[in-house]
Chain A
Amino acid sequence: MPDTIPTALPAALPALAPGHVRHGSSIGQPLTRRDGALKVTGAARFAADNHPPGMLHAVMAVASIAHGRVQSLDIAAARAHPGVVEVMTSSNAPKLARHPDQTGQPFTYKLDLLQDDRVRYANQPIAVVIAETLEAATEGALLLRPTYAAEPSSTSLDQAERFVPDTVGVGSPPNETSGDVAAGLADADSRIEATYDTAPQYHNAMEPHAVVARWDGDRLFLDTPSQGLSMAQARIAGLFGIDAADIHIESPFLGGGFGSKGAVWAPQVLGIMAARLVGRPVKLVTRREQMFGPVGHRAPTRQTLRLGADRDGHLTAVDHHTLTASSTFDDFFEPSGRVSHTLYETPNLRTTHEAVRLDTGTPFFMRAPGEASGSAALESAVDELAEACGMDPLAFRIANYAEQEPKSGKPFTSKKLRDCYARGAERFGWASRPLQPRTLRDEAGLLVGWGMGTASFPALMMQATARATLHADGTGLIELGAHDMGQGAWTAFAQIGADGLGLDAAAVELRIGNSALPNAGMAGGSAHTATAGSAIHDAATAAIRALADLATGDERSALFGAGNQGVVARDGRLHRKDDEQRSERYADILARAGRASLSADGKAAPNAANQAQYAAHAHGAVFAEVKIHPTLGQIRVTRLVGAFAAGAIINPRLVTSQYYGGMIWGVSFALHEHALHDPRTGRVMNANFAEYRVPVNADIPDMEAILVEEDDPYVNALGVKGVGEIGITGTVGAIANAVWHATGIRVRRLPITLERLL
């Protein structure tokens, strides 16, 4: 999710992959999802599939104004509806131990939990109706017929006063400069200035935020999807004044997260409050239209880029200004400019951010926050400058290839972007692209355009712990409170665990997805596999070391005395490194020691020394072909080729799927997604899947994701970078640039709509 993650513990990770790991036994294999059959048969139990005995259904009533107060609710009408058990409003909602506007911890945002009658955005919860059936609760919520004292609202970048936020993203400075941008622009032989608008977008996972809450005294049992189990525990504990350890959260599967489940939001807490109020288990599922407000979104941006280049097409200056928005009551600022810090070599670089406050819910991390919107603008602007220089857009990018990170001057931990360019371009056939726009047509007379964009995303490390166990029966167990959002944690983490333990993946049991397990941090920032995977690796390494200690110190073992030489763990046996013929089964080692099992803990954290020395990013290149009807303006993406280098690949099948997902979201960003706020009321007028358009299958072309090999000795012990978010970057610009190449028209307002091409 975020682009930089503050960490409390600057703990160093001890060196690199220990010798006992033989990558490739499980790691690197394109295993199918372990949970695939459960999901396609409907047997996978998502949060809202749970129905504890005595459970009631809760439905939120939400505000239809964006700013003001609730004046009245017809509580009597709702209560009179058959099946309605209780109506929770600001007058009877359980009082909280901590006001929900009291935040302070990282990733904690202000929540609207019926503590008063104010309305800060449309679709804010204003009451909860609890009933014996979903139908009764739904109708009860309608019968409340609220009235309001509405105040004027602003939901557009043009409607509010600008200011410079203290920080953007996660603690990044809003304005950063190196060199002299004005001088760089003045010296340029070619320069462009262009302003790009990106639309507000709302994450809409197939599974909306849902909770099934059950209290047992002051102990709380929850089924709710979470990208950060321990953070969720901490937030809920603070709100209710209970011990985090008394909160048990089950979250075995998420029906998509995309950042929106990185925090606990109001609907989930309201379900918990409702359960406390009525003294029975309660299920609350956010309705689709209610996803547009209380659970985070991507704010709109307006980005102005001024770029200059010399006669040879080398950048002389990059000036990237972002205007974005947060809510009136909390701070989250999309850090769009940060992508310019890492991509292209330039002596003069400035990124600035301004913001306005709008009467919307608070924006939040949404797949590649900052990088997605920032890359859309930067890649478009680079294309415009390449055109101004009379250069091929790929040649221009290669001419400005950054050997060190432009902002920091640090070398990269690894960077195979040249290979991405080369392999993507070759596969796509880029070399035959004519420089001039509106020169390609297909056999049906449609305009054809080719465009490209560079993809990048930081390779982050967070913190996680894990436990690895070897059983006397020769099987292994990996335990950690990790999160499967659909990316394939159930499979990839088993692969990492299997290699770490020297076992076949089928012999390793994996337990993830509940809060009783060792804290695995959060699934965000494309860092979960890197971080939790490293913790698994560390735990498995420790387990094997402990097992080796049992063996090498025992005269009866074939491994006796191997201590300094070390051992290799493979296929359930430890082998002497200096003589692989001498080996012993794990089961025998444990049996002789009289142990039923052996466990070890592991952890992962950022390596401060490496971070001080190196810049770490995944990279890629995306090539897009669009076809456009010459008179009607309708647009279709007809080909997408992405080539990505992201360190070691745990499971190429799952990674390819992540790249596809990101590229598809890029299509959506470029051509479809746009939350339409009515300027008078602030309501989102297309809060449904018919009119808040995302691509359908038929919109998605032949896609190809090329996995470029990249060996990274620094990012973490596994050499893994993230792959979850990078696919959306690069793709948006590639499509916008292809639209220009097809038509000769630069559409600088995303999503691109057909009337701009008429």
Chain B
Amino acid sequence: MNRFDYVRAASVAEAVAAWVPGASFLAGGTNLLDLMKGDIVRPSRLIDITRIPGLDSIEPLADGGLRIGALVRNSDLARDRHVSGTYPALAEALLSGASGQLRNAATTAGNAMQRTRCAYFYDPASACNKRDPGAGCDARGGDTRLHAVLGWSAHCIATNPSDFCVPLAALDAVVEIAGRSGTREVALEAFHTLPGDHPETETVLEEGEMILAVRLPPEAAGFAAHSRYLKVRERTSYAFAVVSAAASLRLAQGRIAEARLALGGVAAKPWRAREAERLLIGRLPDAAAWTECAAAALSGAHPSGDNDFKIDLARRLVATAFARAAAGTPDRLPALPASPFAVPVVSSGVHAFA
């Protein structure tokens, strides 16, 4: 790890003022410190924002929305009764990410800022346009099993690894941003950018800007009864999604009044599938609807390598997630949040024969 300046900011104004080119803001550090140890990033200065007062609260807003401070820990947010009761997919997504220890340290803002898990990004000896613009992309033609199937470009096929941001995108969350010239807001859906010709740019944050909070609009509470996050992964915890989906429904008179769908693990950003959502409006919540919706959600998908299975898997996942959402949010968080398996490893030894 390189030598760096360390600045502990006492206020947002101080933090923003302390920024210099090459600096990074430090919150939980669960990703940034690993990147520094791996020689992936070498910030000249770390601006520690964890002591700034006022950034660690979860505030229900007068309009029915919710404001989540940048420093709210993932585990605190997931276990907040209002959050898990009102935005169950959000809680499931949070609890399906990383490990208990990491969630205790990881923050709201840091989660949104985490970098891809592309192995070629993490390997300094590989060419990577994110690390070194113009260097090329060694992921292409390499091990691409878990790479993008949507929104990728010739220059980058990496995916965004966040679980948390997937339901945030589905629920129209808004990111509050502070910079030297004041504050601004951007929709979470627009916060992360697709690689295009500039995979080194991953968010719309300008240099020196930091996240203050993530806000959920009042409408997000309308899906509490029918919201699920479902994540396919290759072990039960401490694994990034092969594919994940946040599916939310508002039902009225037995029909779908409104639907929300976002996918994780498929693109450089949480992938909101608005066209697919619209197809569901007015439909009966049945298998045919889910199949059609799933097909639409993946209609633009192309394998970026040896990963075409992810497209089929994502379709299946969308259908399964909506079926579960339609069945109703469970009364309590599942023991294995977001898992295709509803219960932990137990077995009665007694089985029904199909």
The B313-344 residues at the A interface (CB cut-off 8 A) are: 313, 316-317, 319-320, 336, 339-344
Choose one: A448, A631, A686, A698; the contact of B237 (CB below 8 Å).
A698
A685-B142, A685-B143, A758-B316 known; A448+B351 contact, CB < 8 A: yes
Measured CB to CB, the closest approach of chain A to B215, in angstroms, equals 31
A698 x B317 contact (CB < 8 A): no
B340 x A693 contact (CB < 8 A): no
CA distance A700 to B236 in the complex (A): 9
CA distance A683 to B235 in the complex (A): 24
A138 x B351 contact (CB < 8 A): no
Q: Which of B141, B143, B235 is most buried by chain A, counting CB atoms within 10 A of its CB? A: B235
Segment among A39-47, A184-192, A673-681 that sits at the interface with chain B? A673-681
Measured CB to CB, the closest approach of chain B to A130, in angstroms, equals 17
Measured CB to CB, the closest approach of chain B to A59, in angstroms, equals 11
CA distance A636 to B343 in the complex (A): 11
Segment among A21-29, A195-203, A384-392, A436-444 that sits at the interface with chain B? A436-444
B317 x A138 contact (CB < 8 A): no
A699 x B235 contact (CB < 8 A): yes
A686-B119, A755-B313, A758-B312 known; A439+B354 contact, CB < 8 A: yes
Answer whether residue B239 sits at the interface, using C-beta atoms and an 8 A cutoff. yes
B309 x A755 contact (CB < 8 A): yes
CA distance A309 to B239 in the complex (A): 43
Q: Which residues of B contact A753 (CB under 8 A)?
A: 234
The A121-150 residues at the B interface (CB cut-off 8 A) are: 135, 138-139, 142
Measured CB to CB, the closest approach of chain B to A667, in angstroms, equals 10
CA distance A65 to B126 in the complex (A): 11
Q: Which of B117, B237, B347 is most buried by chain A, counting CB atoms within 10 A of its CB? A: B347
Q: Which residues of A contact B99 (CB under 8 A)?
A: 696
Q: Which residue of A lies closest to B308 (CB)?
A: A755
A631 x B1 contact (CB < 8 A): no
Q: Which residue of B lies closest to A685 (CB)?
A: B119
Choose one: B39, B117, B236, B240; the contact of A698 (CB below 8 Å).
B236
B342 x A444 contact (CB < 8 A): yes
A696 x B313 contact (CB < 8 A): no
Q: Which residue of B lies closest to A700 (CB)?
A: B345
Q: Which residues of B contact A693 (CB under 8 A)?
A: 234-235, 239
Measured CB to CB, the closest approach of chain A to B108, in angstroms, equals 21
Answer whether residue B296 sits at the interface, using C-beta atoms and an 8 A cutoff. no
B117 x A441 contact (CB < 8 A): no
Q: Which residues of B contact A442 (CB under 8 A)?
A: 351-352
A698 x B340 contact (CB < 8 A): no
A440 x B353 contact (CB < 8 A): yes
Q: Which residues of B contact A106 (CB under 8 A)?
A: none
Q: Which residues of B contact A82 (CB under 8 A)?
A: 3
CA distance A639 to B353 in the complex (A): 18
Q: Which residues of A contact B80 (CB under 8 A)?
A: none
Answer whether residue A467 sits at the interface, using C-beta atoms and an 8 A cutoff. no
A634-B340, A638-B346 known; A685+B123 contact, CB < 8 A: yes
A698 x B316 contact (CB < 8 A): no
Answer whether residue A367 sits at the interface, using C-beta atoms and an 8 A cutoff. no
A758 x B309 contact (CB < 8 A): yes
A64 x B125 contact (CB < 8 A): yes
A627-B341, A693-B234 known; A701+B125 contact, CB < 8 A: no
A442-B351, A702-B346 known; A691+B119 contact, CB < 8 A: yes
Measured CB to CB, the closest approach of chain A to B278, in angstroms, equals 24
A441-B353, A632-B313, A685-B123 known; A754+B347 contact, CB < 8 A: no
CA distance A758 to B344 in the complex (A): 22
Choose one: B117, B125, B349; the contact of A681 (CB below 8 Å).
B125
CA distance A442 to B352 in the complex (A): 6
A676 x B143 contact (CB < 8 A): yes
CA distance A672 to B123 in the complex (A): 22
Answer whether residue B120 sits at the interface, using C-beta atoms and an 8 A cutoff. yes
Measured CB to CB, the closest approach of chain A to B248, in angstroms, equals 19
Answer whether residue B6 sits at the interface, using C-beta atoms and an 8 A cutoff. no
Choose one: A135, A439, A625, A680; the contact of B141 (CB below 8 Å).
A680
Choose one: A138, A680, A698, A755; the contact of B344 (CB below 8 Å).
A698
Choose one: A444, A639, A672; the contact of B349 (CB below 8 Å).
A639
Answer whether residue A152 sits at the interface, using C-beta atoms and an 8 A cutoff. no
Answer whether residue B181 sits at the interface, using C-beta atoms and an 8 A cutoff. no
B1 x A139 contact (CB < 8 A): yes
Answer whether residue B205 sits at the interface, using C-beta atoms and an 8 A cutoff. no
The A153-195 residues at the B interface (CB cut-off 8 A) are: none
Hey, what's the 0/1 contact readout for B289-319 against A, CB within 8 Å counting as 1? Answer: 0000000000000000000010011001101
Q: Which of A439, A685, A753 is most buried by chain B, counting CB atoms within 10 A of its CB? A: A685
Q: Which residues of A contact B339 (CB under 8 A)?
A: 634
A678 x B142 contact (CB < 8 A): yes
Hey, what's the 0/1 contact readout for B226-264 against A, CB within 8 Å counting as 1? Answer: 000000111111111010000000000000000000000
CA distance A625 to B347 in the complex (A): 9
CA distance A444 to B235 in the complex (A): 20
Hey, what's the 0/1 contact readout for A720-758 against B, CB within 8 Å counting as 1? Answer: 000000000000000000000000000000000111001
Q: Which residue of A lies closest to B233 (CB)?
A: A634
Hey, what's the 0/1 contact readout for A62-98 against B, CB within 8 Å counting as 1? Answer: 0011000000000000000010000000000000000
B351 x A440 contact (CB < 8 A): yes
CA distance A442 to B351 in the complex (A): 5
B313 x A701 contact (CB < 8 A): no
A634-B232, A698-B336, A701-B345 known; A690+B39 contact, CB < 8 A: no
A139-B3, A672-B234, A678-B142 known; A698+B345 contact, CB < 8 A: yes
Choose one: A434, A671, A690; the contact of B353 (CB below 8 Å).
A434
A138-B1, A634-B233, A685-B119 known; A696+B238 contact, CB < 8 A: yes
A691 x B238 contact (CB < 8 A): no
The A293-329 residues at the B interface (CB cut-off 8 A) are: none
Q: Which residues of B contact A629 (CB under 8 A)?
A: 340-341
B142 x A638 contact (CB < 8 A): no
Q: Which residue of B lies closest to A122 (CB)?
A: B125
Answer whether residue A695 sits at the interface, using C-beta atoms and an 8 A cutoff. yes
A683 x B352 contact (CB < 8 A): no
Q: Which residues of B contact A636 (CB under 8 A)?
A: 236, 341, 345
The B116-153 residues at the A interface (CB cut-off 8 A) are: 117, 119-120, 122-126, 138, 141-143
Q: Which of A65, A139, A439, A755 is most buried by chain B, counting CB atoms within 10 A of its CB? A: A755
Q: Which residues of A contact B342 (CB under 8 A)?
A: 444
Q: Which residues of B contact A672 (CB under 8 A)?
A: 234-235
A444 x B343 contact (CB < 8 A): yes
Answer whether residue A238 sits at the interface, using C-beta atoms and an 8 A cutoff. no
Q: Which of A429, A631, A681, A688 is most buried by chain B, counting CB atoms within 10 A of its CB? A: A631
The B158-196 residues at the A interface (CB cut-off 8 A) are: none
CA distance A439 to B336 in the complex (A): 26
Q: Which residue of A lies closest to B315 (CB)?
A: A631
Measured CB to CB, the closest approach of chain A to B309, in angstroms, equals 4
B347 x A638 contact (CB < 8 A): yes
Hey, what's the 0/1 contact readout for A409-447 against B, CB within 8 Å counting as 1? Answer: 000000000000000000001000010001111111010
Q: Which residue of B lies closest to A753 (CB)?
A: B234
A-B contact pairs, 30 of them (CB 8 A): A64-B124, A135-B1, A142-B39, A439-B354, A441-B354, A442-B351, A442-B352, A443-B352, A627-B341, A629-B341, A632-B320, A634-B339, A636-B236, A637-B345, A638-B345, A676-B119, A678-B126, A680-B142, A681-B125, A683-B125, A685-B123, A693-B239, A698-B236, A698-B345, A699-B236, A700-B345, A702-B346, A755-B309, A755-B313, A758-B309
B residues near A (Cβ < 8 Å) are 1-3, 37, 39, 99, 117, 119-120, 122-126, 138, 141-143, 232-240, 242, 309, 312-313, 316-317, 319-320, 336, 339-347, 349, 351-354
Shortest 3 CB-CB distances between A and B: which pairs? A64-B125, A698-B236, A755-B309
- Excluding A434-B353, A693-B235, 20 further A-B contacts by CB distance (< 8 Å) are A438-B354, A439-B353, A440-B354, A441-B354, A443-B352, A444-B343, A631-B319, A632-B340, A634-B234, A636-B236, A639-B349, A671-B235, A676-B119, A678-B138, A680-B138, A685-B120, A690-B238, A698-B235, A701-B347, A753-B234
